[in-house]
Amino acid sequence: MTTLELLLQSIDLDTLSRLRTASELVSFALGLVISYLAYLGYRRNQSRPMLFIALGFALILGVPGVALVILGFGLDIPIPIVNSVGQVSELAGLLAILYGLWMPRRP
């Protein structure tokens, strides 16, 4: 057996589940920080594109984290529905960021 195979066999599913949850929480926190900083940039410069970028990051990283906590752990909703909510939110967030980056500047 290779070293990688031995390492993979030694990791249990509980540890992997904890690592995934920790990763989700870090992504959620980073999403909120990035969204907040982009919102501050919007407020400081009155730049509408920055508002859409802030909204996009909140939708991409914030909403799926909240959906996972509220829908997945709080209520007994099937995981495919929770994942679908996250996917739709991520798609809307990417579209908001794209619009913010593509939006024409006003003089």
What averages of pLDDT result for each successive group of 10 residues across the chain (107 residues)?
A: 71 76 82 89 90 92 77 72 85 94 73
pLDDT of amino acid 1: 64
pLDDT for 59 equals 92
Cβ neighbours of 4 (radius 10 Å): 8
- Burial string for 39-52 (b: 16+ CB within 10 Å, else e) reads bebbeeeebebbbb
Q: Tell me which residue of 93, 72, 90, 73 sits closest to 81, measured CA to CA.
A: 72
Cβ-contact 97, 52 below 8 angstroms: yes
Provide the 3-class DSSP secondary structure of residue 11: coil
Residues 98 and 55: beta-carbon distance below 8 Å: no
54, 42 in Cβ contact below 8 A?
Answer: yes
Q: How far apart are CA 50 and CA 61, in angstroms?
A: 16
Question: Which pLDDT score is estimated for 94?
Answer: 95
User: Given this model, what pLDDT does residue 72 score?
Assistant: 60
Cα(9)–Cα(20) distance, rounded to whole angstroms? 18
Instruction: Quote the pTM value.
Output: 0.72
